[in-house]
Amino acid sequence: MALIRRRDETDADEFEEAVWGRHIFNARRDTSRVPFAVCEAEEAADVVACVEFAKAHNCRVSVRSGGHSWAAWSVRQGAVLVDLIYLDQKEGGEFSYDPATQVVSTPPSASGRELNDYLAEQVGEDGKPRWFPGGHCPDVALGGFLLQGGMGWNCKNWGWACEAIIGIDVVTADAKQLHCSPTTNPDLFWAARGAGPGFPAIVTRFHLRTRPLETLYQSLYFFPLSDFQAVLRWVSAAAPSADPHTEIVVVTSHFAIDDFASPMVLANFLTFQPTEDAAELALSALTDAMPDTLTPTLAIDCEETNLETQYAMQTQANPEDHRYCTDNVYVSNDVTDLPALLEPAFTSLPSKQSAALWFAMNPTSRRQLPDMALSMQSDHYVSLYAVWEDEADDTGCVSWVRNAMKTLERKSVGSYLGDADFQARRTKFWSDEAGKRLKEVRRKWDPEGRICGYLDEGDKSGVEGLKNEFEWQGAP
């Protein structure tokens, strides 16, 4: 039975803990937003009861799978917060796997690491364990990750994680339980792959295609910050023709190799291969293209690694109990000098924990996407992560992100939902056609705006959702 804590009937400290204390990742929080109640659901029937409770009290419903959204979208003024963190946790009911179809079923509150720990025991006929390319950060829950598209492992080649969704179970805004697939409630299924927090229902179960897990190999090359343009020019030119099982990233941050004394540039190549020889072939094609004028401060060539090591690296890069401000753009493919455009932001990090990331997306970005809400992409995904501990540093760290975006957004085709804050700036997240269709789906399935949707400035988007337009269009 769902545990419902009403604000006016619960001890203040207990209520605040239920809202903020357990499942919100970002320590920079707008605590002026206070829900009417927090509802902890243990099974799908509890989610139905939570929606009915919200209807009875004329409240909106907000949803939390894991609380990793930077802007804490789940915490909404006067809403009933449906917390799914305990959904299907009893008696081993969290996951189920069908060897015949290689499909895994999971609640939205499970993280990518938790799912892959389970799948590691599901060995296919090829002798390889199964896995699912979820979020790079191990504690990111699958619900928000998949609904916004899912920029998972090796997205540049394997496509978006949401493309692996074959079905979902939902509770609608009028408290009905439904299954959605390409042939059953297909409009909700279409929206589930890219609508993000504007999905007009609550997902209680995902059904996902899995992959065989190959051995991971990694090459890492660290350079002084002064080499940024040369490094990005080399890597961005080599990325489109790279091995199709290789993920390619360029990051600037402070790294442990020099005791975090100064920021550096990292070219990071991670490949999934059946043999070490195959890995060496894939990775050497990238390193052979490195200009003779570049000399790494530290080079790690084709080192075998694994998911746990990769998750540990991501945890170090995204520490808990820190304050975060993030934003992102898809830089337009017709930008003539990408390294020069990115250098000011990538070389002016406001804190030792902060990072700037360029993620290669070609060739996924050059193919026709499946019919789904997710419809925004380019060859170059760029995200800025301001990370700090002291509230006194808020202004400087937030300003770094906001000021950089004023330049970068003018050279972009839009942004990704996952690293966005809709309160900070208005931009495009879908194609014009998909944005229009998404509004129609939202109006059909949630005409009263029961599901909170997108947290824009003033939380006013309602049934219509985001405007899906550049705020600066028409400005000089």
- According to the model, what pLDDT value does residue 2 have? 81
Question: 278 by DSSP, 3-state: which?
Answer: helix
pLDDT > 60? residue 476 = no
Alpha helices in 239-329 (DSSP H): 276-287, 307-317
DSSP state of 289: T
- Mean per-residue pLDDT for 413-435? 97
Question: 95 by DSSP, 3-state: which?
Answer: coil
CB 315 within 8 A of CB 347: no
Which of 157, 168, 151 minimizes the C-alpha distance to 374?
151
pLDDT > 70? residue 410 = yes
pLDDT > 70? residue 475 = no
184-188: list long-range contacts, CB under 8 Å, 24+ apart: 187/441, 187/444, 187/445, 188/441, 188/445
Q: What would the pLDDT profile of 369-388 be if each residue is shown by its tens digit?
A: 999 999 999 999 999 999 99
Query: Would you state the structure tokens that stand for residue 406, as one six-digit string?
Result: 């004023």
Fold of 215-419: Vanillyl-alcohol Oxidase; Chain A, domain 3 (3.40.462)
- According to the model, what pLDDT value does residue 13 have? 94
- According to the model, what pLDDT value does residue 474 have? 65
Q: Which amino acid is at 428?
A: K
Neighbours of 265 (CB within 10 A): 28
- According to the model, what pLDDT value does residue 92 have? 58
What is the rounded average pLDDT for all residues in the chain? 95
Give dist(CA 468, CA 476) in Å, integer: 20
Pairing of strands 263-273, 215-224: antiparallel
pLDDT > 70? residue 220 = yes
CB 251 within 8 A of CB 355: yes
Q: How confident is the model at residue 398 (pLDDT cuts 50, 70, 90)?
A: very high
- Mean per-residue pLDDT for 84-109? 89
Fold of 90-212: 3.30.465
DSSP state of 18: I
Q: Give the C-alpha distances (Å, rounded to integers) separating 121 from 107, 127, 128, 130, 152.
A: 18, 11, 10, 8, 21
Q: How confident is the model at residue 25 (pLDDT cuts 50, 70, 90)?
A: very high
Question: 269 by DSSP, 3-state: which?
Answer: strand
pLDDT > 80? residue 259 = no
- According to the model, what pLDDT value does residue 88 have? 87
DSSP 429-444: -S-HHHHHHHHHHHHH
Query: Would you state the structure tokens that stand for residue 401, as one six-digit string?
Result: 């992100």
Q: How confident is the model at residue 172 (pLDDT cuts 50, 70, 90)?
A: very high
Q: What would the pLDDT profile of 300-319 be if each residue is shown by its tens digit?
A: 999 999 999 999 999 999 99
pLDDT > 60? residue 270 = yes
Which of 281, 278, 279, 267 minimizes the C-alpha distance to 217?
279
CB 204 within 8 A of CB 167: no
Residue entry with tokens 């194609």: 431
- According to the model, what pLDDT value does residue 34 have? 97
Q: How confident is the model at residue 124 (pLDDT cuts 50, 70, 90)?
A: confident
Give dist(CA 266, CA 243) in Å, integer: 19
- Mean per-residue pLDDT for 149-156? 97
Q: How confident is the model at residue 260 (pLDDT cuts 50, 70, 90)?
A: low
Percent of the chain past pLDDT 70, that is, above it, reads 98
- Rounded to 5 degrees, φ, ψ at 172 are -80, 175
The residue extents of the domains of the chain are: 3-83, 90-212, 215-419
The beta strands (E) that lie in 228-339 are given as 246-254, 263-273, 298-305, 323-331
pLDDT > 90? residue 93 = no
Give dist(CA 300, CA 120) in Å, integer: 27
Mention the CATH class of domain 3-83. alpha beta
- According to the model, what pLDDT value does residue 392 have? 98
Pairing of strands 37-40, 80-83: parallel
Q: Which amino acid is at 275?
A: T
Which residues 6+ apart lie within 8 Å of 442 measured at CB? 191, 195, 198, 200, 453, 463, 464, 465
